[in-house]
Each structure stands twice: as C-alpha cells, then as structure tokens.
Amino acid sequence: MDASKRQRYDKISEELTKLVGGRENIQGVAHCATRLRIVLKDNDLADLKAMEDVDLAKGVFVAGDQVQIIFGAGLVNDVYEVFAENNNMKNMSLSDLKTEANKKMNPLQRIIKALSDVFVDIMPGILAAALLTGLSGVLGNMEFVKGNDTLYGINTLINIASGAIFGFLPLAVAYSACKRFGGRPILGIVIGCIMLSNSLADAYAAAQGAVEVTTLHIFGLGVELVGFQGGIIVALLMGFVTAKLDQFFEKKVPEVIRLLLSPLLTTLVGALLLFTVIGPVGRGLSSGITNALVWMTQNLGVVGYSVFSGLQQLVVITGLHHILGAIEAQLLADTGRNFLNPLMSVAIIAQGGAVLGYLFLHKKNAKVRELCIPSFVSVLFGITEPALFGINIRYRFPIIGGCIGGALGGIVVYLTNLAAVGFGTTVVPGIALADPAGNGYINYIIAHGVAITGGFVMTLVLGKFMDKPQEKVSGATDSGVNRQEIGEEPAESGMQMEVPERETFYGYEEGRLIAMEDVKDETFANKVLGDGIAVIPSEGKVYAPTDGTVLSVFDTRHAVCFQSSCGTEILIHIGVDTVNLKGKYFTAHVKDGDIVKKGQLMIEFDREQIEKAGYDTVIPMIFTDLQEGRVLEKEEPGSVKPDVRAVVVYNAR
C-alpha cells in the first residue's frame, strides 16, 4: 500500500473509530466482499448518520449484530487492514468475532449467517463448476468443436471436470459445515465420503428404478442403502451434527484414549444418524423445497416469477438471500435446471438501472457521481450492496424503481423459459451459466436489457414526484466532512465562508525550509496529495501555521489535518513512513475539533529517537483541497521559524 493511500485510510480509520464510540466500544472487526463489519459493545453510541459522510463510504447500516459500512469490492480490504491495525485488532480471530456477534443475533439470524459462512468457503469450487458447465454447454453446441478431435476431447474433459465438482458437492458442503460449526474438518470429509460411498446405490439411478436397493433393518427401522448424490441439505445437517458430535466426544472421552476413540465414535454415531434420522429428514426437506418451487412455476406462472424477481433484492436487505445458494444447489441436483439464478440476476441488474436513473437525475452532483458509478460497476458483477445501501434505499424511490424493473425482467425469464445450469454468479459473468437451449444466451441478454431499462425509466418517473433536492449541509465540504460535527464554529449559520484575497501561513517548525519536490518520498515529491512546502526540523515541535481548527489528529499522532479560519485545508505530516511507529515518540497537545491560534503547539516528537529508528523526519505541509483559482506563493528555501512567513495563498487574477 503506497503512502498516499495509507494516509487516506488512516484518516478514515480515525474518523470511524471516533464515530463508533471510540476504541473502547469496539469488540471486533472483520470484512466481507464489500463491507467493513464492526461489532460494538453498544450500537447506540455509534453515529450512523455521520458515518455516511466518511470518505469513500457508500452506505451504512446495522444488521442485527454488526455496524456495516459499505466501501465496495477491493477497497474494503485495504480499509479493513488499516482500521484493524490502528485499533489493535489485527490478530483477532474470526471465531472470536463471531462469538461476540452471535450474542446479539436472534436464532433466525444465526442460522442465515451460518449458511452464508458454509457456502463462502466453498464458493470458488462452485463457481469453477458452474463456469465450466457453461463453457462446456457453449462448446458442445458448436459444430466445428464436434468435428475436431482435439477440441471435442478438451470439451469432454471440461464436462468431466464440472460434473465431478458438482457430483462431490455434498462432500464439500459437509466439510465446510463441519468446519464452520467447530468440528474438525477432516471428519466432515469422512462423513461426505460415506454419503457418496460406492457401496451405496446411486441416488439418481435408484430414483429411476435402474438399480436394486438393499434394505437393512436397524432398531426396527428399514434403512435403504442409497447414496446422497445431490443431497446438499443432508450434507448441511450432517456437517452440523458431525461438528457437535466431535466437540462432545472430545470433552467426554478420557485424554489417554481420546485420539483413537473420539473420531471413531464421531464417525460411527454420525453414520448411524445419517441413515436412520438425518438422511430421511433431509431428503424430505429437500423434496419439499424443490416441489414448492416447481409448484410455483407451474401454478403461479408469470405472477410467481415476477413477484420473486421484483422482491428478491428486498430479501438481500435482510440477509436471508444467503439461504438461496443451498436451494439452488438442491434444485440443480433434483431437476438439472436452476430458474432462480436468472430471476436473481435480473433483480440485481434492475437495481443497477435504478442507480443510473438516480445518477441521471443528479448528473451535475459530483458526490452523486462518486457514489453511483462504482456502485453500478459492482452491480455488473452481481454485488448490489453498494447500490442498495449507498443510493437506492438511502433515497427510497430508486429501490422501488429497481424492484419494478426486476419484476419486468422476471416476466421475460418466464416467457422465454430461461434457466441456468449452475449457480454462484450473476449478471455479466452469469451469462456463462445460462442454459443454451432455446436461444438461452440471447434471452438472457434480452431479460437483463428489459430489467435495467425498467429500473432506469421507473426511477426517472418516480423521481419526478418523490425526489428531494440535494441541499448542501451548512458547513459541509465536497469531501463530506461536516465541520460542525467535528467542533468547528460556522462562519454564519447557513452562509458560505468568505474566502479572503490573500491568506498567510507561517512556519510550523523551526528548521530549514525546502521545496516539496526535494522531499525524499515520491508521494510528497510528486504532489500526489497536493502542493506545499516542507521543513527539515531542528527541534521536535509542530505549531499551528495560522488561526484555525484541528480537523483530525491521527491516532499515531504523526500527522494533523488542519483548517484555517478562512477554510483552507492542510495536512502536516511528520516524517516519512512514521505511521509504522504507531505513535511511539509522538505527543499530541491538541485533539480533534480544537480551535487554535497561530504559533500554538500542536504536536511534540522526539526527533533524535525517530531518526535513530531509521526514519526521515522531514515535515511536509500540504494544501490538500485548494479551491479553483487559488495559488501558492512559497518562500525561498532557507531557515524558518514559527513567526516567519512560509506560504501565501492568494486568488489568481
């Protein structure tokens, strides 16, 4: 991570820590594909409204146990790293976080979260199988592939690979579920192997009456020796049971024989439960779910399809959508076709259409563009959280427009009999999963075109009646920082701050003034963060260069964000890469929101110790957000003191 990004993420971390109620209110932190997830001792101490204006944040909400801040795919990883490190939670295990989080969840939330965790672990394999299935379907319909021995052979191997992954999916599910619920993963694999054993009749062949099924009698119960191919729900249940059995026997069996006896008993009891209780119950549950979905398509027709695709994204808000992965897998295993995937896909792209509609309505608003464009890109890859929580739900009417667009797309899915041959991916990459039968790829594009257009148009229509003007908050800047929230007094209530013709910034540290280009760091020298000056210090004190307000003192105390009384923002950064010292050798004499006078001491640091630690102690002062037309007049390099003019900011003529 380069220095400029690190500084930006440090500032985000500082602000978030403050807004969640301080470090002492944080119990744990983790992240998923798009969200920073923070478990707090008391959610009421968090200022959710202010969090929405944190730099790079696209939305904030509370999901049962966690405050979740949406940053988007990729970005959230970097923000998490910095936030966790700055709050000393870098080494906190995910199980610890889950333990704290589960205390606040109701039973239904715990079940949904557990299902999500199970499928997250094995999703790469599922995606590989689904994409290989789609690729095999495409190649298999091409005549030149059929007529070429090499291409035909490659396609056959692709088909074998995809079939093998799906064929052993129950084993993968049992492994992941056992691991998730606290058992030893290898025992989940053992149970999965038993479920798919060659000693059992193949489940598909048995269902067609193509093989003879042996029946055993155990405790008066008739036990049919049929395998569990496609038994996703059975595998989920067995993963859970195996984990609990493992935990039980690990506690009860004496240590001297535990290594031999505990896994033996877990496997034996698990196998008995599989064939006598869990298997029959799981098969019945699977059959019921599949039959209900098939009934919906046969009896509710276009209404059932449109209602599902229209409301599916509302299910995402609750988190219940994670259970659909298990249902899709079971549907594929039982029928060979997954009609839920294209329905969910059109529901997703319709919300993207709503985002574009909102963007069109506010195309002149830079903040809206900053939110909408990356959110829409995420939608193209099946991730709607930034769009939902950053825009559509936040402004209300876009979510309605998106739901209507999703319903329209669902109608097309029904009329074209569109389905998928896999699951796990949607929208742009999801086209590879479309069943090619009956012009499936063309129908996939048409359905998505209708959905995104419907979401876009309906958002425009609803916006005419429901949209509210986006008023700029008094005292707020384009970067989203509300100065009144961090303690700065507004110049006048509801009035813009008057910008003076000239503004003088004085020395902020005794030492030798140098040009920014001479700083031995590419980020500063290339003015990535902005133009300014730098001082090679002769002591260890940083002073306020003019009257103003402390916007933020970094937790590591190596940098200060400052705003002059006339509204000009600067960053004073002590040293290069000194964030790695994590506050050692630095002492802050001001805090966020403090109003200070020119020459007031803000930070003290031990220059000699920092240099001994191998760090450059040069101190850049960067003008991070100069208004258009403002120009820096910098003093010539040489000695500087706190009462000597260093920079003049003036309006260009």
Rounded to whole angstroms, how far apart are CA atoms 469 and 348? 27
Helices (H), 565-643: 607-612
Average pLDDT, the chain: 80
The helix (run of H) or strand (run of E) holding residue 233 is: helix 232-252
Q: At what angle do helices 185-195 and 232-252 cross, to 10 degrees?
A: 130
Q: What is the pLDDT of residues 586-604, one digit of tens each?
A: 999 998 888 899 989 999 9
Rounded to whole angstroms, how far apart are CA atoms 173 and 327? 13
Q: What is the pLDDT of residues 526-552, one digit of tens each?
A: 776 678 899 999 889 999 999 988 888
Tokens of 651: 């309006």
Catalytic annotation, residues = 32, 573
Q: What percent of the chain is predicted at pLDDT more than 70?
A: 81
Query: Which of 5-14, 124-133, 157-166 has the least mean pLDDT?
Result: 124-133
Tokens of 136: 């095999």
Rounded to whole angstroms, how far apart are CA atoms 617 and 624? 20
Query: What's this model's pTM, rounded to 2 decimal places?
Result: 0.46
Q: Is the pLDDT of residue 622 over 60?
A: yes
What is the structure's pLDDT at 436?
Answer: 87
- In 48-124, the DSSP E strands lie at 59-63, 66-70
Bridge partners, 425 (sequence order): none
What is the structure's pLDDT at 153?
Answer: 93
Query: Which of 27-31, 94-98, 250-254 has the least mean pLDDT?
Result: 94-98
Rounded to whole angstroms, how far apart are CA atoms 376 and 357? 11
**More confident: 414 or 146:** 414
- At 217 the three-state DSSP class reads strand
What is the structure's pLDDT at 88?
Answer: 79
What is the structure's pLDDT at 497?
Answer: 44
Query: Which of 221-230, 487-496, 499-508 has the least mean pLDDT?
Result: 487-496
| DSSP line for 628-640 | TTEEEEEPPSEEE
Is the CA virtual torsion 430, 432, 435, 436 positive or negative? Answer: positive
What is the structure's pLDDT at 130?
Answer: 61
What is the structure's pLDDT at 647?
Answer: 84
**More confident: 141 or 582:** 582
Q: What is the pLDDT of residues 41-95, one digit of tens each?
A: 777 788 888 888 888 887 787 765 678 887 765 677 788 889 988 887 765 544 4
Rounded to whole angstroms, how far apart are CA atoms 394 and 366? 17
The helix (run of H) or strand (run of E) holding residue 316 is: helix 301-318
Average pLDDT, stretch 459-470? 80
Q: What is the pLDDT of residues 346-366, one digit of tens each?
A: 999 999 999 999 999 988 777
What is the structure's pLDDT at 33?
Answer: 52
Rounded to whole angstroms, how far apart are CA atoms 87 and 579? 13
Q: How many beta carbons lie within 10 A of that of residue 94, not counting itself? A: 11
Average pLDDT, stretch 225-252? 89
- At 618 the three-state DSSP class reads coil
Average pLDDT, stretch 376-388? 76
If pLDDT is split at 50, 70 and 90, which confidence band does 320 have? Answer: very low
Q: What are phi and psi of 625, to 5 degrees?
A: -145, 55
